Structure 1
Amino acid sequence: MNPSTGTSSGNLSDRINSLVKYLRSEVPECIAAGAIDMATGMLLAVETIDNHPQEVLDLLAAATLELFQGRTVTMIEEIWKERRGVHTDRHYFQEILVNSDNLTHLFIRTESRDDVVAVVVCRKSVNAGMLFAQARRVVKDVGPL
């Protein structure tokens, strides 16, 4: 993967690993980045400055799946689509920002595959506008998965 040109090479796993590395290096105050498969709820790739137990990483993946495609969220999406006359399988929620006591977490669906969600974890001091701008740029620059 050449992130600067957006050209893709290699298999899906290589491209997802490149996305995660590029997010980790380009997003301000980023301490961790990952990618989750929304079809399985599995963590596809992760890069972090700290070591975390595998069970914590697995829970993050499961929580991401619930956040984007849990039963209640899916019901809300279907109601809004129905009321707006939208007939598509595209998910309504594309980005979710979560602030904890010390960290800011951005969850963002990739443009080419809405079944892959990138996760960026930054220090709470991050400028939210820059976080969104850089994460969106990286996802776009990396190109289709």
Structure 2
Amino acid sequence: MNITGGTAAGNLTDRIGQLVKALRDDVPECVASGAIDMSTGMLLAVETLDTHPAEVLDLLAAATLDLFQGRNVVMIEDIWKERRGVRSERHYFQEILVNSDNLTHLFIRTESRDDVVIVVVCRKTVNVGMLFAQARRVVRDIGQL
């Protein structure tokens, strides 16, 4: 299901925009935040300190889709759920932290819609505990999409 469709699209779009802005404002050392639709792999909203070419942002969205729902990831989720006797359609991986040379990227599925993943990009000097705490707080408080 494409989350941007339907009669509530304006409200949903507004709430996603508020969520992404709050993440950018409230998470320490945040340089960018965004939201990706996992059903389409499209970037729904983005807030950054710098301007980035559209191709880079589109690649981030596509990479997020692969990171959470790539063929091998889904296979691993299914095996783990089977071995643990879990009978749920809910995705197993909910949060993923990725460190690059200069940045820390936190990817979180929203609780209310597992077809939306938010991304928070911070400087590498961020306190990872504070990154998780603030991002989770914002997603919990505003992320009821």
Amino acid across the alignment from 2:45: A
Tell me the equivalent position of 1:56: 56
Tell me the equivalent position of 2:37: 37
Q: Percent identity?
A: 82
Are the counterparts in 1 of residues 19 and 143 from structure 2 also a CA contact under 8 Å?
A: no
Q: Secondary structure at the match of 1:33?
A: strand
Amino acid across the alignment from 1:62: A
Q: Secondary structure at the match of 2:55?
A: helix
5+ residue gaps, structure 1: 1-9
Q: Work out whether 1:93 is the aligned partner of 2:93.
A: yes
Are the counterparts in 1 of residues 105 and 119 from structure 2 also a CA contact under 8 Å?
A: yes
Matches within 5 A, 1:107-118: 107-118=107-118
Tell me the equivalent position of 1:136: 136
With CA pairs under 8 Å and 6+ residues apart, which has the higher RCO, 1 or 2? Answer: 1
Root mean square deviation, CA, Å: 0.7
**How big is the shift at 1:143?**
4.0
Distance in 2 of aligned mates of 1:80 and 1:31: 34
Distance in 2 of aligned mates of 1:35 and 1:121: 12
Q: Secondary structure at the match of 2:111?
A: coil
**How big is the shift at 1:144?**
1.3
Distance in 2 of aligned mates of 1:110 and 1:76: 21
Amino acid across the alignment from 2:103: L
Distance in 1 of aligned mates of 2:143 and 2:108: 14
Tell me the equivalent position of 1:77: 77
Distance in 1 of aligned mates of 2:104 and 2:63: 15
Tell me the equivalent position of 1:11: 11
Distance in 2 of aligned mates of 1:121 and 1:129: 14
Amino acid across the alignment from 1:144: Q
Which runs of 4 or more aligned residues in structure 1 lie more than 4 Å from their structure 2 counterparts after TM superposition? Answer: none
Q: Secondary structure at the match of 1:57?
A: helix
TM-score (norm 1): 0.93
- Count of aligned pairs: 136
